[in-house]
Structure 1
Amino acid sequence: VGLEALVRWRHQERGLLPPSEFVPLAEQSGLIVPLGYWVIFRALKDMQALREQGLAPLHMAINLSFRQFQDSQLLPTLNRLIEEHNVDAHWLEFELTETAVMRRSDQVRKTMEALGRLGVRFSLDDFGTGYSSFMHLNSLPIALLKVDMGFVEQMEAREENRKLVNAMITLAHNLNLEVVAEGVETTGQLELLRSFGCNQVQGYLISRPLPMEQLLTYLRLEASQADASQSG
């Protein structure tokens, strides 16, 4: 269904660092804005590369900080990158946190509306871990909710988690929102989410994060298996 762009830092001494090791510092220092633009650039470049390899287009989800949405250069920069890489904006998805939604910034809302007119869609990341109200959700052009992996990973062991995830999915559907479950690692979790009507899942059960070369191999294999099943 799609991909998510995940940033990692290849540190000379500490090796490959996850976002939790450096993104908070980037937020505090203001470097999160140029970092965000670099991630957008790489994501669109990779989308172009996948298309040039003859692969079917996939949605690309990109995490953006609240500061990025406040930056006046976001819209012109995205327009330029879309044109440079010949990417259809309808395949782009920007993820916000619940904290960003709660701030209710007019600038964020206006930027989202302008991006939405380009075709970009929006999702609310790590749903259930913050304090968002559904009134705020209805005031923003959000199309998807992403259920945090903290709720998903305990579903098989805890009935409370099963009920909570089921309720989240039902509520989202009642608001005409699609649902993505994060952190799916077992077939048991997948079957439960299917029974709840979850629209999409992501996690190690589907694939671990992959660099570009391995991603190309993975997608080609998936495409060939799909062709084989259709012809069979």
Structure 2
Amino acid sequence: MKVIFYLILFFISLSTSADTGGSDTFEADQKSLVTSLLSASVSVSLVVGLYFGYKACIRFIEKQKYPNDPRYELTGALWYLLTMVALINPFIGFDWILQTLALADPNGICIAYNSISTDITSISDPNCFQTNTSSYSQNLLNTLKASSGSKFAELFNNNFRFLVGIFQVIAFVFYIIGWVKLTSILDGTERNSKIMPCVMIICSSLVMNLPFILKVILDGVEILIKWLNHG
């Protein structure tokens, strides 16, 4: 909850400062911030993944030295390897989870901001955000104008992409934390329920593809409304 609270304060402060500069400059700053944070998260994920790869190697060596010691069962090493794969290339992990849930975008994970200078360019189409949000962003904008006034609707319209990007950065962090906690539970380091880290990993994967997931949800709601009206 504290993360969400600080996010809201951060978002409001940036939105307020937008009036002091040009719109293009502000949008460029938003893109630079989100892209930098996401690139940093990718680097952290890589380091953590390599650490679990190292732990897997150590576990294999210990198993060879002490084959009858239950503390060095290979199950832990296999989980270390799985976590390594999920974190060294997290976008493959996101896509695998979304494929399992039948919620994957055929074009890959849709990142709010994309840049040729980042390592995530090949993951998503640079135009995927506009493609996925064009069908519902205007409807959301009209709804906000009707319910909250034009000023709030304009604020939403100017910062919607930035907000999605920030949520994707937060989701990435929780994805890493989820895998670390799950692996710690499965190898016996922690004694907590497996449910919470699994929920963290799944929810993080959904948020990482939020533009497409919102499209799927809203399209489903529209179909349901039409079905109810005809019924």
> What TM-score results when the alignment is normalised by the length of structure 1?
0.26
> What TM-score results when the alignment is normalised by the length of structure 2?
0.26
Normalized per residue, which structure has more helix?
A: 2
Larger Rg: 2
Normalized per residue, which structure has more strand?
A: 1
